[in-house]
Chains A and B, each alone.
Chain A
Amino acid sequence: GAVVSQHPSWVICKSGTSVKIECRSLDFQATTMFWYRQFPKQSLMLMATSNEGSKATYEQGVEKDKFLINHASLTLSTLTVTSAHPEDSSFYICSALEFRQGDDEQFFGPGTRLTVL
């Protein structure tokens, strides 16, 4: 299957700083990418849909000014957690949608673990 990478795989930062997480589709073009957040022992929660060349669509309850998403190319989407606080500590996962004729498939990155001190 297609490969999606994330960078960094883990990051520790101080409260109040901003952190950028990259999501790349390595061997296919993805006009649509998704960002999820997962707290310990919980399921994945969809945060936003990222479309190349347009503004992201955020799920209800997700602050768009806090979680900035940029999808500047067909293979790269970035999530910036602005002014991070300890409650933002979580496992952030992206996925990329590969459109195929009548049969789309979504591939997930390995995740980025964010710890805010």
Chain B
Amino acid sequence: DAKTTQPTSMDCAEGRAANLPCNHSTISGNEYVYWYRQIHSQGPQYIIHGLKNNETNEMASLIITEDRKSSTLILPHATLRDTAVYYCIVNSGNTGKLIFGQGTTLQVKP
């Protein structure tokens, strides 16, 4: 599975949009981009995933570039409860294995 690169940490003001980037330049054609987050001392929570089209659900939007080498997770109106570590993972889905990188620690500030 392709490797991902994310910034170590980001800050966001409460109520503003949080845009979390992810680079996956070696992604192959059958690999999906998944986003999970982990709030302190809890199990990871699924947020969203996509293959090549942009996706939106009740939690977030996922914007994937046309060449699929990078993506951005958007939390449209960040709240304090969105403070967490956000993981971008590329996975082909064949085995279901998710390999977690270091993720981005998002701190939402009042």
Contact = CB atoms under 8 A, between A and B. Distances in A.
Interface of A: 1, 4, 6, 32, 34, 36, 43-46, 49, 91, 93, 95, 97, 104-111, 113
B101 interface: yes
Contacts of A91: 41
A44 B42 CA distance: 12
Given A34-B97, A46-B99, A106 B46 contact: yes
Name A's interface SS: strand
- Contact residues on B (Cβ < 8 Å of other chain), bracket: 10 to 19
Interface string B41-68: 1111110000000000000000000000
A68 B38 CA distance: 26
A44 B41 contact: no
A69 to B, nearest CB: 15
